[in-house]
Structure 1
Amino acid sequence: MKAIQYTRIGAEPELTEIPKPEPGPGEVLLEVTAAGVCHSDDFIMSLPEEQYTYGLPLTLGHEGAGKVAAVGEGVEGLDIGTNVVVYGPWGCGNCWHCSQGLENYCSRARELGINPPGLGAPGALAEFMIVDSPRHLVPIGDLDPVKTVPLTDAGLTPYHAIKRSLPKLRGGSFAVVIGTGGLGHVAIQLLRHLSAATVIALDVSADKLELATKVGAHEVVLSDKDAAENVRKITGSQGAALVLDFVGYQPTIDTAMAVAGVGSDVTIVGIGDGQAHAKVGFFQSPYEASVTVPYWGARNELIELIDLAHAGIFDIAVETFSLDNGAEAYRRLAAGTLSGRAVVVPGL
């Protein structure tokens, strides 16, 4: 079968031919219908050899949708042909966090060698993929898998980040979204649906700000050296109650801290270069401001997102690619020329 794999440190991902997998006991085989391309992939492929821990060759893709093609021994109650999306942050299923559905914070995953698809385990950028357990599948019914697959990360991650801050998003408050790409443009829609806050979106180009306006941002601001000052012209002295940084480089984190208000949440979602940090302390950050770095989201939250998708609240911007030109999706991602989320469709 065809797959897009990272095969050599520092090289571009490439289209390869690998054997079609067979499901073992407790596993599920999916025929992939759509797979998302994410900045996290680009980040791990930029790591030097001494920091890379994901194995080679690695079939990429941690956002996956597909049809159940076969099940392993012991799997019951899952019909062949069922349309599903994959919950990516696999955990042990038994620790305290996993018992809450928070497999993204599994306390034993590293110890047990459990890795997410595309981030250690074989991922979704292939014609078929193995899912380790049926509990990591969420049926989507008649939803379009191409439009739905970004919800497994580009939707789940901001949803998890926003939910914890909803009590602070009262009428008259402000929420700032830095970076309006794959995750950011979904975050804007979630904020508009879930809160009464005024949503201010920041990005580096007019076309990205146009997308932000299209999906519901009340105000847009160019993300440059004057961004914090221009955001403060909108929020006034109260600042933002929530700042979501989907970029994660030092300039955007500095902007996030500069626009945050007293008692606010600053949530750094973007990985950036992995080196940036928020400056916290007296005379460095607002009083009682909380700075958080979340990771993905809970299983029940993905179910909630699929319910919201059935209710029609999302307008997910996607650009589609075939497996044959999937490497181009990563080039476009690195160049910052994508509008919304890149989705690879094996059937194209």
Structure 2
Amino acid sequence: MRAVQYRRIGAAPEVVEVERPTPGPGQVLLEVTAAGICHSDDFVMGLPEEEYTYGLPLTLGHEGAGRVVELGPGAEGVEVGTNVIVYGPWGCGTCHQCAQGKENYCPRAAELGIAPPGLGAPGALAEYMVVDSPRHLVPIGDLDPVATVPLTDAGLTPYHAIKRSLPKLRAGSTAVVIGTGGLGHVAIQLLRALSPARVVALDVSEDKLDFATSVGAHDVVLSDEHAAENVRSLLGGRGAQLVLDFVGAQPTIDTAMAVADVESDVTIVGISSQPAAAQVGFFRQAYEASVSVPYWGSRGELIELVELAHRGVLDVHTETFSLAEAPTAYERLHAGTLTGRAVVVPSR
């Protein structure tokens, strides 16, 4: 079968022929119908050799959708022919966090050698993939896999980040979204669907700001050295109750901290290739402004997102590519010329 692999440190990913996998005990084999491409992949492939820990060759793709085609011995809870998406942050399944569906925060995954697909385990950028357990599959029914596969990360991560801050998003509140790409444009839609907050979007070009407006942002501001003062001017001198940074670079983190109001939440979601950190302490940010760095979301939250998708709440913008075109998609991701989420369709 064909797969997209990262094979050499610092090299571009390649489309290669590999052996079709066979599901082992308790595992499930999917025929991949769609696989999302993410900035996290670009971050991983940009790591120097001394910091790279994901193994080579690595079949990429931590956003996966597929059709169940084979069950390994003892695998139960899903039927052959079911259309599913894959919950990516696999855990041990038995610890306190996993028992709550929060496998994204499993404390034992690393010591047990458990890695997410595409981030250690073979991922979804292939014609077939093995999923380690039926519990990591969420049926999607008649939903389009291309439009739905980004929910596994580009939807789940912002949903988790927003959900924890919903009590602060009351009438008259403001949420600032920095970066309106794959995750950010979904966050704007989720904020509009789940809260009465005024949504202010920041990005680096007018076309990206126009895109943010088209998916529901009330106001847009150019993300530059004047962004913080322009946001506060827009808000009459006040700050925002929630700031979501989907870039994670030092300038955007600085902007996020500067526009956060008293008792606000600042959530840094994006990962920059350069070291970046929020400055926290007396006189460095608004009083009682909390800063968090979430990782993905829970299995239950992914199920909730699928329910929202069935209700037509979300319109995830995608550009589709074949497996052969996947390296080009990564080039465009790195260059910042994608609109929404890049999705690879192996059958193309």
Contact 1:248 1:268 in 2 (8 A): yes
Report how far residue 236 of structure 1 moved: 2.4
User: Is 2:30 the counterpart of 1:30?
Assistant: yes
- Taking the aligned partners of 1:64 and 1:256, their CA distance within structure 2 comes to 31
**Which residue in 1 is equivalent to 2:4?**
4
* CA deviation string 1:198-254 (max 9, x = no partner): 000000011111111111000000101111111001222331000000000000000
Report how far residue 76 of structure 1 moved: 2.2
**Which residue in 2 is equivalent to 1:266?**
266
User: Is 2:49 the counterpart of 1:49?
Assistant: yes
* CA deviation string 1:290-322 (max 9, x = no partner): 000000000000000000000001111100000
User: Is 2:112 the counterpart of 1:131?
Assistant: no
Partner amino acid for 2:88? G
User: Is 2:332 the counterpart of 1:328?
Assistant: no
Report how far residue 179 of structure 1 moved: 0.1
Residues 45-124 of structure 1 mapped to structure 2, 5 A cutoff: 45-124=45-124
Contact 2:173 2:241 in 1 (8 A): yes
- Taking the aligned partners of 1:160 and 1:208, their CA distance within structure 2 comes to 24
User: Is 2:221 the counterpart of 1:221?
Assistant: yes
Partner amino acid for 1:272? S
- Taking the aligned partners of 1:251 and 1:108, their CA distance within structure 2 comes to 34
- Taking the aligned partners of 1:272 and 1:241, their CA distance within structure 2 comes to 24
Contact 2:46 2:273 in 1 (8 A): no
- Taking the aligned partners of 1:207 and 1:92, their CA distance within structure 2 comes to 43
Report how far residue 274 of structure 1 moved: 5.0
SS in 1 for 2:342: strand
Contact 2:77 2:134 in 1 (8 A): no
SS in 1 for 2:221: strand
- Taking the aligned partners of 1:279 and 1:101, their CA distance within structure 2 comes to 32
- In structure 2, stretches of 5+ residues that fail to align are none
- Taking the aligned partners of 1:234 and 1:101, their CA distance within structure 2 comes to 40
SS in 1 for 2:51: coil
Contact 1:238 1:262 in 2 (8 A): no
Q: TM-score, normalised by structure 1?
A: 0.99
Report how far residue 96 of structure 1 moved: 0.6
- Taking the aligned partners of 1:321 and 1:283, their CA distance within structure 2 comes to 48
Q: TM-score, normalised by structure 2?
A: 0.99
* CA deviation string 1:83-109 (max 9, x = no partner): 000000000001111011100000100
Partner amino acid for 1:295? Y
Partner amino acid for 2:188? I
Residues 272-287 of structure 1 mapped to structure 2, 5 A cutoff: 272-273=272-273, 275-287=275-287
SS in 1 for 2:236: helix
- Taking the aligned partners of 1:169 and 1:237, their CA distance within structure 2 comes to 18
- Taking the aligned partners of 1:76 and 1:278, their CA distance within structure 2 comes to 45
Residue identity (%): 75
**Which residue in 1 is equivalent to 2:141?**
141
- Taking the aligned partners of 2:41 and 2:197, their CA distance within structure 1 comes to 32
SS in 2 for 1:255: helix
**Which residue in 1 is equivalent to 2:338?**
338
SS in 2 for 1:172: coil
Contact 2:26 2:76 in 1 (8 A): no
**Which residue in 2 is equivalent to 1:305?**
305
- Taking the aligned partners of 1:162 and 1:78, their CA distance within structure 2 comes to 30
- Taking the aligned partners of 1:271 and 1:197, their CA distance within structure 2 comes to 26
Runs of at least 4 residues off by over 2 Å: none
Contact 1:265 1:290 in 2 (8 A): yes
Partner amino acid for 1:29? L
- Taking the aligned partners of 2:79 and 2:94, their CA distance within structure 1 comes to 25
Residues 248-263 of structure 1 mapped to structure 2, 5 A cutoff: 248-263=248-263
- Taking the aligned partners of 2:74 and 2:131, their CA distance within structure 1 comes to 14
Contact 1:179 1:246 in 2 (8 A): yes
- Taking the aligned partners of 2:77 and 2:265, their CA distance within structure 1 comes to 41
**Which residue in 1 is equivalent to 2:174?**
174
Report how far residue 272 of structure 1 moved: 1.0
RMSD of Structure 2 on Structure 1 (CA): 0.6
